[in-house]
Structure 1
Amino acid sequence: MTTAIDINTNENISIKPIAIYQSDAFDVLLLADANTGKGIWRGFDYQWYTDPEDGDLDHDSDKIEDVYGADEEEWEAAANAKLAEYGFKLGDFDEKAGDRYMLVEA
């Protein structure tokens, strides 16, 4: 189970990490919590943080940038290489939402 500190209450809350495409170019992924849809970011202490009261996903998310690949397989390998720094890799793609992957521990 992954937890994050709610910056409003300083309490640990359970999160389900996801990566969301920032644009149609698929080269930037935003890290977020599937439970709330709010951004998550890793602090200097390597703890996850979130602000469930703020709706600015672009501001409150760690960004995985420069994700490129010649095809889907290369793109996923590039994304997984960058996500490994966070201890994650791509999981299932959310077909319904159409713009996000569940993240699983690497």
Structure 2
Amino acid sequence: MNSNVQMILRVVLALVLLVFGFNKFFGFIPMDAPPEGSFMDALIKTGYMMPLIAVSEIVPGFLLLMNKWKGFALAWLVPISVNIVAFHLVFDMSTIAPAALVALLNAVLIYANWERFKSLF
């Protein structure tokens, strides 16, 4: 894959992760409050899960944006992107587009850098 295309995909993925990660801290994208007793409500009420999820998006997003430890960042994102997609498939299908974008970009970038991941399989 062309290195310019990889760079664009990497930066887009990084920006999506940073925007949604920082949104969990600062709430600049308005969202409806989750229904009482829902899974998302339970995550928020724990007090630590949303910050943990946010940091789990911000750190790899920052690494991808800085083009440092790209393989580590992409591997870190696999369980996160799977969980994001699974959450939206089960609980909120109407907002699955950003989740699918994260998973697709992650998969494409892993495929483009397959030499870094071959030894894991």
Which one has a bigger Cα radius of gyration? 2
Normalising by structure 1, what TM-score?
Answer: 0.26
Structure that is richer in strand per residue: 1
Larger relative contact order, structure 1 or 2 (CA cutoff 8 Å, min sep 6):
2
Normalising to structure 2: TM-score of the pair? 0.24
